[in-house]
Amino acid sequence: MSLIPFVLFFLSSGVEPRTGTPRMDDPQVATALAEARSAADLLTGSIRRTLFRHMGSGGPAAAVSACADSAYAISAEVERSSGVELRRVSLKVRNAANTPDSLETALLISWAAEAAAGVTPDTMGVWTLRMNGGVEVLHFMKPLFVTAPCLTCHGNPQRMAPDVRSVLRKRYPEDRAVGYKAGEIRGAVVAVVPVPR
């Protein structure tokens, strides 16, 4: 797939994707960014802990359902306590509900291109300001990297435990989130916060 249309779309969208750019001196933007960052980290940390706890107790096949259901429960919980909207997205989704929008897709593609060129994408995350239903929101996106434990459910299907493979096949017949290697970008966590005015 050619990267050019996406990159052009991204560049022409008029958003400034990097941290430390215009408006960072605006205290409202700085506060929204801090909230987005901490909600994103809370979500990532809680999912990771829940996943590995379930893998320890019920094995990976049990963790598949635990992960799928608890990822949403944890998002809802963090959203309730922080007022930040949270999602996980990827270019190769397991669940179509996690499909990125066009700007998110463009950013994931540019990270993939950077990684392919041997550059580590901005692990601190990237933010943009957008209008959303007449409200200005800060949209924050942070890459999620594949580590060894992720391969149990996102690695080479041939090397997966048969019970994991069969649970995944049954629950996600359209699963594209396999075949990853450690160190690759799996996707991103997205946090969206209104900028108070």
Span interacting with ligand HEC, options 75-83, 102-110, 131-139, 144-152, rule CB under 6 A: 144-152
Residue type, 101: D
- SS percent in the chain: helix, strand, coil, step 5: 50, 15, 30
Residue type, 18: R
Given the complex with ligand HEC, which of 29 and 100 has the nearer CB atom?
Answer: 100
**Residue count (the chain):** 197
The yes or no reply on residue 68 touching ligand HEC (CB under 6 A) is: yes
Span interacting with ligand HEC, options 5-13, 48-56, 119-127, 155-163, rule CB under 6 A: 48-56
Given the complex with ligand HEC, which of 29 and 64 has the nearer CB atom?
Answer: 64
Q: Could you give phi then psi for residue 143, rounded to 5 degrees?
A: -70, 145
Other CB atoms within a 10 A radius of the CB of residue 138 amount to: 24
On whether the CB atoms of residues 128 and 168 are closer than 8 A, the answer is no
Which member of 50, 90, 110, 128 binds ligand HEC (CB under 6 A)?
Answer: 90
Q: What is the CA radius of gyration of the chain?
A: 17
Min dist CB 99 to ligand HEC, Å, is: 8
CA separation for the pair 109, 90 (Å, rounded):
10
The yes or no reply on residue 187 touching ligand HEC (CB under 6 A) is: yes
Which member of 32, 33, 78, 153 binds ligand HEC (CB under 6 A)?
Answer: 153
Closest CA to 5 of 109, 157, 136: 109
The yes or no reply on residue 139 touching ligand HEC (CB under 6 A) is: no
Give me the residues that bind ligand HEC (CB under 6 A), please.
48, 51, 55, 60, 63-64, 67-68, 71, 88, 90, 93-95, 98, 144, 146-147, 149-150, 152-154, 177, 186-187
